[in-house]
Structure 1
Amino acid sequence: MKSDIKMNKGHTYVQWMVAFVAEITLLTYGLQAGWMSPMKTVLQSDSSPAGRPLTDMEMTWVASVLPLAGVVGVPLYVYIADNYGRKVGVLVMAIMQMSCWILKLSTTSVTSLIIARILGGIPAGGCFQLIPVYIKEISQDSIRGMLVSMFLLMQNIGIFMIYAMGAYLDYCTVLWIVLAISVVSVVALIKAPESPSFLVKMGKYEEAASTAAFLRGLDMSDKEIQNELNCMKEDDRQFKALPDVTVLTIFKNRSSRTGVLLVLLIISMQAMNGNFAIVTYASSIMAASGVTLSPELQTLSIPIVMIVGSFVSMSCVDKFGRKTILALAFALTTASLVGLGSVLTVQHHGGSLPSWLPVASIITSVWSYAAGVSPMPYVIMSEMFNFQIRAKVLGCIVSYAWFISFVQLFAFTPTAVTLGLHNTMYCFAAVNLIGVFLTLVVVPETRGKSVEEIERMLAKK
């Protein structure tokens, strides 16, 4: 009873503040991911800040190099976080993001734009690996789920901000604003605490207790803090006692091998389902589909519905199950892209349809992506693998996902030119339809099941 009273005297606002500061890196990633949509038209216009209009192939490289660089970012930030600290990793991430905007302001050549996107892509790879780990380790159980889930919301807010600024502000003004956000992020992270779990790993037990007490608004001698410190010590001891895990040992085990292959299939469908290209080239796709109002203003609907989708995902994931949500999301995306392809086909043959039809198709597709296609594979894979192999498997799969996203973006413009934008949408719809069948037939439902139960299910496949 005494410890409960003391816990009530504590607070959570410091944890919320630290989580928000760390997740500004996801906001900045959202700014990076959405930057191409409003700026593609600017960079390919006669008044391009590069001094000449960029070609389609140059724009393809500028757009697609970000996810390619993300492949490098995953193992880099895993190494930094494990050897120098979670906070250090997040801080390096924020500094690289800031450098990206500085380079874009300093020079506007094609080469510098590509280098700048690489500087933004490397930390993008670390965002989805490191930020959830850092937030998990600085937060208490009662608010951990909300704080971790907030990172996708921050990403979608970033996309909304860049779409809105791109619609109303000029090229350089947008860059100055996003640079200011990155500078604030770096300064705030300097003052952020290190993860108590990492401090325990380094043998700094007193500092770990002090940090945990600061985060929870309690005294170092509080029983809750001491119990938490003892749990972290035990977790660290158990982790260090585990045998080394290699790719060979993972694939020798039937259940883990089956799990990896299933997740790779679903991640392939997710990364190739077309929505990353739609978000990146939203203004151009809106304009090509016959939107009569300002395409820039129309595209503001995309991040808004993505934000709504994030809230729906957070509220429904534990009620309806991962498999059900993922299959429905793939199905909705299939229908939406077939609708968009049909609109574009009619226009390709000289017909016309109401401009709200392509807008409705696009926003339904990206809503489904934010509500199910994007988050559910990561939820499933986090529950599918045991603690001993989870880190290695997730690192490899996230790197693979970034590479496939690069392939999608790099191939989008040449494919649209060769096959036509309408046929490209049909190809994306086919990918999502395959995703529906794979989810229903081979993906296990992981909601409410232990790792051991899931492993037994995988061993039978």
Structure 2
Amino acid sequence: MKFYGFFREGSQVNQVICALLINLPVLAYGASIGWMSPMTLLLQSDHSPKGLPLTDAEVSFMASAPYLVCIVFDLVMAYIGDRVGRKFALLFLSMALATSWIILLCSFETWALIFARALVGVTMAGCFVTCPIYTKEISDDTIRGALGCLVVLFQTTGNLFLYIIGDLLSYRTILWICLSLPTIHMIVFVFMPDSPSYLVKKGRTEEATKALAWLRCRSVTDMKVQEEIELIMKEQNKDKTTSSFFLKSIFTDQILLKAFQIALVVTLAREVCGAIPVLNFAGEIFTLASKDGGLVLSPNQQAMLLGAVQVIGSILASSVVERSGRKPLLFLTSLVSGLSMCLLGSWFLLRDYDIQAPSWLPLLTLCICIFCDASGLQPISIVLTGEIFSYKYRGIVMGVTMAMASVSDFLQLLFFKPLAKAVGIHVSFFFFGFVCLLTAVYVILVIPETKARCLEDIYKDLKKNKTNEGKEATEVKEITRF
């Protein structure tokens, strides 16, 4: 048996190392999102390190600023990744996050606090546009799903990590720890290779071969490395025959249009499954659940519980996605999440009519929703979007869908409470449940299985589905004629 470096030939260890480092900024981003929970309580208290407690308006601007910036930078990060490389884009987003923590360390001025949080939006965009694409392009087909799920695992771990240290350490100590994460990443990631697909696109075939050989733990002359380089070149040569204008290519090619529809549906379904408003409404639900003297948790303990549920869910996704496939996991989590949202809506409806219902039910359904989001809806939608497009479209599609997701998140955070008061909170949760159940049906009828399959095979499935839809439409027309 031959050995490459310290590992046996064909080992996947280098891919795992590279994927872990690619997703290190996601861990840092997760910590930056988690930072708002314990630090808001501190900054609005009488013991605020600023000297004066922050107002609700200041905290609201700090919380919403990243989502507004993310809408624009979803597309900017896609452009940077395609033009100057996935590696540079990744270093850029770590630099933005490091700058954010430096500003927080240097100033308590309101503009500085809001600007620092706005920079988190740059990292947010890069984490869900650049990182999944980069991970997909360095991974074997046999492990790309498991490595692709790391983005959610690292985000949820970052959240939980900050919830815990936010309860234990001082304000400035936490900032220094958070600053160390993107700083370490920028230093270490310099030694990692860029995406072989990007290098081939730029005509740097020799460099791409060396990068791929290192990732696959093989020599540059190995036939399998050469075959994979040829496959990348073949895929990109096909893209040259299509229009250089993204929207024209999407809307004139029926298969690309179908793939784009799938990417958009699973992305929006992930955002409108109820997880985001549920997380923001968690405090009140926990309060209601503990009215009868049951479980009583502080706000930060609530955050820790939800963070732990998210981490467990994302670990499950990473461990089973290559065995179960994308389609079954996405269907199951959509179905269970939909049922849990409907159950939560029913609980609120019964409460409105003064009908006694178990106080532990909201806590259970909330945890189920968060678990399903982390174990299926989030990671599988991201992995799937990266797998159903070639290099030419992968970045811009991820950017467009994530921009739509950012708009959706911002609108939900803005209008959820006013609408819930106007029509009743139960209506909101029934709506989220209905969206999840529709998603489960859509998964069964439309979405192809992409596990360990090449793009050509996936598109054959989409073509069959399109042909079947055309036949059904023709049959309907024939029937209506008579």
Category of TM-score, reference length = shorter chain? 0.7 to 0.9
SS at match of 2:35: helix
- Whole-angstrom distance in 1 between the partners of 2:238 and 2:153: 34
Residue 330 in 1 paired to residue 337 in 2? yes
**1:88/1:391 CA distance change after superposition, 3 Å:** closer
Q: Does 1:444 align with 2:451?
A: no
Q: Match for residue 72 of structure 1?
A: 72
Identity of aligned residues (%): 28
What is the match of residue 369 of structure 1? 373
Contact 2:81 2:89 in 1 (8 A): yes
Q: 1:145 to 1:158 in 2, by over 3 A?
A: same
Alpha-carbon distance change, 388 to 202 in structure 1, aligned in 2, over 3 angstroms: closer
Q: Deviations over 1:384-415 (max 9, x none)?
A: 66777555443312210111111222334655
Q: Is the 8 A contact 2:133 2:394 kept in 1?
A: no
Secondary structure at the counterpart of residue 337 of structure 1: helix
Matched ranges for 1:243-392 at <5 A: 243-252=243-252, 257=257, 260=260, 264=264, 267-279=267-279, 282=282, 286=286, 290=290, 292-314=296-318, 315=320, 317-318=324-325, 321=328, 324-335=331-342, 337-338=344-345, 341=348, 354=359, 356-379=360-383, 381-382=385-386, 391-392=395-396
Equivalent residue number for residue 87 of structure 2: 87
Calculate the TM-score normalised by the size of structure 2.
Answer: 0.81
Q: Is the 8 A contact 2:32 2:178 kept in 1?
A: no
Q: Helix, strand or coil for the counterpart of 1:450?
A: helix
Query: 2: CA distance between counterparts of 1:27 and 1:110?
Result: 26
Counterpart secondary structure, 1:374: helix
2:461 maps to what in 1?
453
Aligned residue for 2:413? 409
1:4-47: per-residue Cα shift (whole Å, max 9, x none)? Answer: 9xx95353333222211111111112112222222232232222
Instruction: Give, as a single letter, the amino acid of the residue that structure 1 aligns with 2:62.
Output: V
Are 1:240 and 2:248 matched, yes or no? no
Residue 453 of structure 2: aligned partner: none
Q: Give RMSD over aligned pairs.
A: 3.6
Tell me the equivalent position of 1:135.
135
- Shift of the 3–232 alpha-carbon distance from structure 1 to 2, 3 Å rule, reads farther
Structure 2 counterpart SS, 1:48? coil
Q: Are 1:166 and 2:166 an aligned pair?
A: yes
CA distance in 2, matches of 1:261, 1:223: 37
**Aligned partners of 1:260, 1:213: CA distance in 2, in Å?**
32
Alpha carbons of 1:265 and 1:209: their partners in 2 closer, same or farther (altered >3 Å)? Answer: closer
Equivalent-residue separation in structure 1 for 2:199 and 2:387 (angstroms) = 26
**Structure 2: distance between partners of 1:304 and 1:143:** 25
Q: Deviations over 1:46-80 (max 9, x none)?
A: 22334433333332222122222211222211221
Q: TM-score, normalised by structure 1?
A: 0.84
Unmatched runs of 5 consecutive residues or more in structure 1: none
Kindly state the Cα deviation for residue 125 of structure 1 after the two structures are TM-superposed.
Answer: 1.0
Q: What is the aligned length?
A: 454
Structure 1 residue 327, shift from structure 2 partner: 3.5
**Gap change, CA 1:303 and 1:211, over 3 Å in 2:** same
Report the more deviating stretch, 73-82 or 9-18.
Answer: 9-18
1:104 is the counterpart of 2:104: yes
Q: For the residues of structure 1 that align with 2:446 and 2:90, how far apart are their CA atoms? A: 34
Q: Deviations over 1:359-397 (max 9, x none)?
A: 333212211211233234445555666777555443312
Post-superposition shift, 1:306? 1.4
Structure 1 pair 264–22 and aligned structure 2 pair: CA distance change class (3 A): closer
Q: Name the CA shift for 1:190/1:380 in 2 (closer, same or farther; >3 Å).
A: closer
| Counterpart position of 1:157 | 157
Structure 1 letter corresponding to 2:412: Q
